[in-house]
A and B are shown apart, each in its own frame.
Chain A
Amino acid sequence: MIRIEHLVKSFGPLEVLRDISTQVDTGEVVAIIGPSGSGKSTLLRCINLLEVPTAGHIFIDSIDITSPKCDILKVRQNVGMVFQHFNLFPHKTVLSNLTYAPMKVRGLSKADAGKIALDLLAKVGMSEKADQYPSRLSGGQKQRVAIARALAMEPDVMLFDEPTSALDPEMVKEVLDVMKALVKTGITMCIVTHEMGFAREVADRVLFLDGGYLVEDAPPDVFFSAPKSDRAQQFLEKVL
């Protein structure tokens, strides 16, 4: 469970997140949407402390990750992240991309980490590419490997930062399909996305951000059919 209380994030004089409070229950899938520059990615990146909040608190399973005493590395081991630009390690094969952190961080043996990795590669349909380098893969394939890499740490929470935004249109579906399969496993997911159809289909809740404010926090049916705020209405008119 993730609980966010009065989260504020500023970059110098620029306030990117203003007093955000919400909660994501265990197993819940939350879609974070909004216009560009609204703070979606920053909110997501605060949850694994890639951005350090300026004020407020974030609790993951009742541990305050914003407390200076908190072991950030420990938190991150439990929170997987998938990036817009994949960020695979280009000098490592697909398999070593998956086994590196489990071996280095969790101390798994090569055999154990390899077993988990091959299992995950099978699940994302990338088994036959295990020994390839990332440069040989298409965007969609890279992103599926990146999802598997994050899952290899066996996290409780998965964060997705616009996972399909850098993909060619015909590759979007293969990544969304992997994510849909992931939803069924019951893992907690926070997804920043511009794929409204996908958000509507898989999300339990939609968070709509605008100008750093959390403007709406509603189930997708309610949000997409009857958004309360003007800002959300305008946004949906443009994107739907």
Chain B
Amino acid sequence: MNLDFGQILPSLPFIIQGILVTLRFTVLSALLGFTLGTLLSLLKISSIKPLRWFAEFYTSIFRGTPLILQLALVYFATPQLIGYRISPIEAGVFTFSLNSAAYSSETIRAGIMAVDKGQREASMSLGVAYRPMMLDIILPQAFKNILPALVNETIALLKDSALVSTIGALDLMRRAQVVAGQTFLYFEPLIVVGVIYYVMVMGLTQAAQVLERRMRRSD
């Protein structure tokens, strides 16, 4: 074993810049994904059948095919289809948001269903309309219950974001491969990036715990 981290030291700033790319990518995908997932979950509990069908069909497509295939399809097929040269980051955020929405919509639906129906009835009896009832009464309670599951989903997004390296986005993973290509060292850059991913996930877990404690204030 002859590990030589000194050799990749000059490339460290290059690798570290990838943190921002990966983080921005994850945050954007999570925010868009959860927003879309919430809308989908509302369709799934709607009393209008076609809306329910649409949401279920949508979920089945994104859960039923590999994420990397969806990513390749969006990135390579979009220019061919509509003539727009989509950037790797755009393609990544777009695909991951749609994909994450499919998964989180199921979690959010379960969260909404788990809120006591008396909450809905109390809101209705006070003359509160559907939208404010959902936004102010039902969803806050639903999200509190499913926070651990949403944190899981975000962690999965953060790690799966390494897939965008396959379409050339300069994220952490891709940068490790670039450095490996330049220095002919594979072990060191991959280990460095692995540690960075791990630290990021730990940070996310900690942040989620703080958030959960704050949300449990009312218990």
Q: Which residue of B lies closest to A92 (CB)?
A: B218
B126 touching A153, Cβ below 8 Å: yes
- Of A79, A86, A101, the most chain B CB neighbours within 10 A belong to A101
Q: Which residue of A lies closest to B219 (CB)?
A: A135
Decide: A76 near B122, CB < 8 A? Known: A100-B136, A135-B219: no
How many of A's residues come within 8 Å of B, CB to CB?
31
Contact code string A132-163 (vs B, CB < 8 Å = 1, else 0): 01110000000000000110010000000000
**B123 CB contacts on chain A under 8 angstroms:** 101
B218 touching A135, Cβ below 8 Å: yes
CA distance A150 to B125 in the complex (A): 8
A149 touching B126, Cβ below 8 Å: yes
B126 touching A76, Cβ below 8 Å: yes
CA distance A40 to B91 in the complex (A): 58
Question: Which of A50, A90, A91, A153 lies in contact with B124, CB distance below 8 A?
Answer: A50
CB distance from B204 to the nearest CB of A (A): 24
State which residues 127-166 of B face A: CB under 8 Å.
127-129, 132, 136-137, 140-141, 144
**A73 CB contacts on chain B under 8 angstroms:** 127-129
How many of B's residues come within 8 Å of A, CB to CB?
21
Q: Which residue of A lies closest to B122 (CB)?
A: A87
B144 touching A91, Cβ below 8 Å: yes
CA distance A78 to B124 in the complex (A): 12
CA distance A50 to B124 in the complex (A): 8
B116 touching A87, Cβ below 8 Å: yes
CA distance A150 to B217 in the complex (A): 25
**B122 CB contacts on chain A under 8 angstroms:** 81, 83, 87-89
Q: Which residue of B lies closest to A71 (CB)?
A: B127
CA distance A90 to B142 in the complex (A): 12
CB distance from B127 to the nearest CB of A (A): 4
B119 touching A105, Cβ below 8 Å: no
A133 touching B118, Cβ below 8 Å: no
CA distance A109 to B80 in the complex (A): 55
Is chain B's binding surface mostly helix, strand, loop or mixed? helix
Q: Which residue of B lies closest to A149 (CB)?
A: B126
CA distance A93 to B118 in the complex (A): 17
State which residues 191-216 of A face B: CB under 8 Å.
none
**A89 CB contacts on chain B under 8 angstroms:** 119, 122, 137
Tell me if B121 is interfacial: C-beta within 8 Å of chain A: yes
CA distance A193 to B28 in the complex (A): 53
B128 touching A83, Cβ below 8 Å: no
CB distance from A103 to the nearest CB of B (A): 10
CA distance A76 to B130 in the complex (A): 13
B132 touching A104, Cβ below 8 Å: yes
CB distance from B30 to the nearest CB of A (A): 22
**A91 CB contacts on chain B under 8 angstroms:** 140-141, 144, 218
A104 touching B128, Cβ below 8 Å: yes
Decide: A48 near B125, CB < 8 A? Known: A90-B141, A91-B144, A104-B136: yes
B136 touching A50, Cβ below 8 Å: no
CA distance A78 to B125 in the complex (A): 9
Tell me if A180 is interfacial: C-beta within 8 Å of chain B: no
CA distance A145 to B125 in the complex (A): 15
CA distance A83 to B124 in the complex (A): 12
CA distance A93 to B127 in the complex (A): 20
Q: Which residue of B lies closest to A153 (CB)?
A: B126
CB distance from A76 to the nearest CB of B (A): 4
Instruction: Please report B residues at the A interface, Cβ cutoff 8 Å.
Output: 116, 118-119, 121-129, 132, 136-137, 140-141, 144, 217-219
Can you give 9 contacting A-B residue pairs, CB < 8 Å?
Answer: A50-B124, A73-B127, A73-B128, A76-B126, A85-B116, A87-B116, A87-B119, A92-B218, A133-B219
Which 5 pairs from chain A and chain B are nearest by CB? Answer: A77-B127, A87-B118, A87-B122, A101-B126, A81-B125
Not counting A50-B121, A76-B127, A88-B122, a sample of 11 additional A-B residue pairs whose C-beta atoms are within 8 angstroms of each other reads: A80-B125, A83-B121, A83-B125, A89-B119, A89-B122, A90-B218, A100-B126, A100-B136, A101-B126, A133-B217, A135-B218
